[in-house]
Amino acid sequence: MSLLDEAIAFAATAHADHRRKYDGLPYITHPLHVMSILWEHGVRDEAMLIAAVLHDVVEDTPVGLDEIERAFGSDVASLVDDLTDKFGAGTGGNRRERKERERARIASASLRAQTVKFADFISNTSSITARDPGFARVYLDEKAATLALMSEDVWGLRRSAEVSLRRGQEMLVQHALRGEVTDA
């Protein structure tokens, strides 16, 4: 079994009781989608692919970075650490303040971590705009502000993330035209 296969099994176990908010699918489908977006864009860096699979484990489960490091090495653990939101709801301040702090933090993350984050944005944008147009307005604005601070990348994922956000905005207009959301 490859290290990537081990990471997939590890993440599937860690997220075993989690479901995607909007479609009820097993949560593991999201990190696998993030990894597949990287692969489709030519990313073959094993640590990045593994980090994509593990990117929500520390944030959403009891698993700690020390466990990630023991199982997958310091490079993967460092990437996962960069990808873990440090300013979630329980960290104080209102959402706007927390998101501003997180934007600044991710903008200083490594290019490799930012590239995985671009793929995460792409994956989340389609499901959020399709299933929660009210929240999508907030989400798309937050992600556009984050993208504005992030680096360029060699795999073209930043450009794809920008296109994904534009498509999300277009979907919001369609939702508004159907009366499903106001002020889009």
- Lowest-confidence range among 4-13, 30-39, 142-151? 142-151
Q: Which residues pair with 26 in a beta bridge?
A: 19
| 14-65 pLDDT per residue, tens | 999 999 988 889 999 999 999 999 999 999 999 999 999 999 999 999 999 9
Domain assignment of residue 107, yes or no: yes
Q: Which long-range contacts (CB under 8 A, 24 or more apart) does 7-16 make?
A: 7/50, 7/53, 7/54, 7/71, 7/72, 7/76, 8/32, 8/53, 10/54, 10/57, 10/71, 10/72, 11/53, 11/54, 11/57, 14/57, 14/61, 14/63, 15/56, 15/57, 15/60, 15/61
Residue 87, in any domain of the structure: yes
Consecutive H or E run containing 145: helix 133-149
CA distance 177 to 184: 9
Number of separate domains in the chain: 1
Residues 113-122: pLDDT tens digits?
999 999 999 9
- Does residue 183 carry a pLDDT above 70? no
Who's near 2: CB < 8 A, 6+ residues apart? none
Catalytic residue set: 59-60
In a domain, 184, yes or no: no
The first and second tokens of residue 28, run together, are: 């593991």
Is 122 part of any domain?
A: yes
Range of the domain at 142: 3-177
The chain-wide mean pLDDT, for the chain, equals 92
Within-domain flag for 183: no
What contacts 133, CB < 8 A, 6 or more positions away? 171, 172, 175, 176, 180, 181, 184
pLDDT of residue 184: 45
Residue 20 lies in a domain: yes
Does residue 46 lie within any of the structural domains?
A: yes
CATH number for the domain spanning 18: value is 1.10.3210.10
182 in any annotated domain: no
